[in-house]
């Protein structure tokens, strides 16, 4: 069993607040659920630092993909400032085979 914590002080609660503030499309449901699962797993872990080290970067990447971090929002803003045109890095990524 993991550490007992006030629900308003958990990572899962913070992630829930963040996700609720976003305007996500139905097709974002899987990424949203993944972020929730990562946060809950980190909160429930016996070795919280190990879980944070292992799952924290994955949670952050998931949140970034949803536009839920300052860096992701800056990239979105930059894209709209360029008239919606992708920057050079985005063009290179799009041209790369999957």
Q: Domain boundaries in the chain?
A: 7-69
**DSSP tag of 66:** T
Query: What stretch of H or E contains 86?
Result: none
pLDDT in tens, 83-94: 666 667 676 767
CB 11 within 8 A of CB 60: no
pTM of the predicted structure, to 2 decimals: 0.71
Distance CA 94, CA 98 (A): 9
Which residues in the chain land under pLDDT 70? Answer: 1-7, 79-87, 89, 91, 93, 98
pLDDT in tens, 75-85: 877 765 556 66
């Amino acid at each position: 069993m993991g550490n007992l914590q006030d629900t308003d002080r958990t990572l899962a609660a913070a992630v829930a607040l963040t996700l609720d503030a976003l305007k996500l499309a139905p097709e974002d449901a899987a990424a949203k659920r993944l972020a929730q699962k990562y946060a809950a797993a980190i909160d429930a872990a016996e070795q919280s630092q190990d879980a944070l080290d292992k799952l924290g970067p994955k949670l952050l990447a998931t949140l970034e993909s949803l536009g839920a971090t300052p860096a992701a929002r800056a990239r979105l803003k930059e894209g709209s400032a360029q008239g919606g045109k992708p920057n050079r890095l985005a063009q290179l990524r799009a041209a790369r085979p999957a």
